Structure 1
């Protein structure tokens, strides 16, 4: 598949990591996706997409058009159609807040159709991006739509969440949350409540996801992997805790994960392959 993406122009780049088009025939249709530090908007112009939550009590979902997904704190399975044409947005963990008028907690580990979030606009947006031929023009249309949706005045506490979140991002989750609250001049409970309002989870949870993302992206399956060193670099100093979290986030032990990575290591083609792993 071909991945064409870019960082949008300011001020959207404060809230969005990239906007992208993903097209083509997938080598593997079923992907195992660990928690990653982002929320998502997907506009699907191809066949239906299926998603299975690792929480077995949650019913599988089938997406045929567009949908929002908040920050996920657990893994899920994602099945591409036979031919992919997907337009998407990778929001920063706090980045969806100024674009949608609903509590972030309602989208944490959940999904919602575009029309449920942006009233009666799903078909219009899909038609706009579906009628243009080039990826560059598609991304221009998507960026224009996002710019029109960005609220001018940030909601209460978003600036503090953004500042703190950026520090978690640049430190890969290694700065103690207590230090961040102290530096901001607020209590830990107050900072946690602001994160729940704008991210859907606490800053400690965001730190855990950033830390794990750094570790998982740092795995080079074509070279010997020193898990102890990799874990310590990412900020894990308790091996038992690292092993439990790794299994929770990927469904595999580090040894099992590396063996699967080595089966597919030479197939990586773009950003969509960092984190997710073929499950078929």
Structure 2
């Protein structure tokens, strides 16, 4: 399966990490995806894709057209068809806010059809892409749609969240939220309220996700792994807390995860990070 992605041109790059095309035969049909510092847009141009929540009480969903997903605070499972053709967007945690006319809390841990958010847009996108085989052309269509949807005037509080979220990103979550609030000249409650509206979760939760992402991306399965050292570097100072959060986010203990990573090395160029893992 081929992953072709790129960072969009300004000003979209302030809100989006990359836009991408995913095509071909998947090496693994089922992928376990831990929380990552992203919100998502998927537009399916091929056979249906199934999404499953790690919470067994949540019904699975079949992705036939397009779906928005906010920041995910728990792992979920993607089941690919025999051949994949989809385009997508990795938004920064706060990046989805200026593209949708709703609080981000309504997208947290949820998959919502595109047409429920962008009225009558999905058919237009799919018609423009059609049978286009060029990833460059497909990404151009998606980028133009995003550009047309970007709010001209940012909503109240987005600048605060973007600046503070950028500091969390740079520090990989290893900065006290109280320090962020003090530096911004606002109360912790005000900062949390703005994060909930624009990100869907509190800054403390965003920090946890960035911290975990730093740890999981630093794992080199080809070498011996000192979990205590990696955990400490990522900002985990309580080994029991680290072990619980790792199991909660991945479904595996660190030892089980490393065994799986060595059994199924990441494909070159896909996935774009080392978080998603094949699922049994």
Task: Give the corresponding residue for 1:215.
Answer: 215
What CA distance in whole angstroms lies between the structure 2 residues aligned with 1:67 and 1:130? Answer: 18
* Partner SS, residue 256 of structure 1: helix
What's the offset of the Cα at 1:266?
5.8
Task: Give the corresponding residue for 2:30.
Answer: 30
Task: Give the corresponding residue for 2:250.
Answer: 250
Determine if the alignment matches structure 1 residue 201 to structure 2 residue 201.
yes
What CA distance in whole angstroms lies between the structure 2 residues aligned with 1:228 and 1:171? Answer: 20
What CA distance in whole angstroms lies between the structure 2 residues aligned with 1:205 and 1:244? Answer: 15
- 8 Å contact 2:266–2:274 — kept in the other structure? no
Q: TM-score, normalised by structure 1?
A: 0.98
Task: Give the corresponding residue for 1:225.
Answer: 225
What's the offset of the Cα at 1:41?
0.4
**Superposed CA offset, 1:176-198 (max 9, x none):** 10000000000000000000000
What's the offset of the Cα at 1:268?
4.3
Task: Give the corresponding residue for 1:72.
Answer: 72
- 8 Å contact 2:217–2:273 — kept in the other structure? no
Question: Taking structure 1 as reference, are residues 267 and 180 closer, same or farther at Cα in structure 2, changes over 3 Å only?
Answer: same
What's the offset of the Cα at 1:96?
0.4
Question: Taking structure 1 as reference, are residues 153 and 226 closer, same or farther at Cα in structure 2, changes over 3 Å only?
Answer: same
What CA distance in whole angstroms lies between the structure 1 residues aligned with 2:263 and 2:133? Answer: 35
Query: Cα RMSD (Å) of the superposition?
Result: 1.0
What's the offset of the Cα at 1:102?
1.2
Stretches of 4+ moved more than 3 A in 1? 266-269
Aligned pairs for 1:1-280 within 5 A: 1-265=1-265, 267-272=267-272, 274-280=274-280
**Superposed CA offset, 1:198-239 (max 9, x none):** 000000000000000010011111111000000011110110
- 8 Å contact 1:222–1:265 — kept in the other structure? no
What CA distance in whole angstroms lies between the structure 2 residues aligned with 1:203 and 1:268? Answer: 33
What's the offset of the Cα at 1:272?
3.6
What CA distance in whole angstroms lies between the structure 2 residues aligned with 1:24 and 1:55? Answer: 29
What's the offset of the Cα at 1:274?
2.1
- Shifted more, 202-211 versus 55-64: the winner is 55-64
What CA distance in whole angstroms lies between the structure 2 residues aligned with 1:192 and 1:8? Answer: 29
**Superposed CA offset, 1:112-138 (max 9, x none):** 111000011111112212343311111
- Shifted more, 43-52 versus 266-275: the winner is 266-275
- 8 Å contact 1:74–1:249 — kept in the other structure? yes
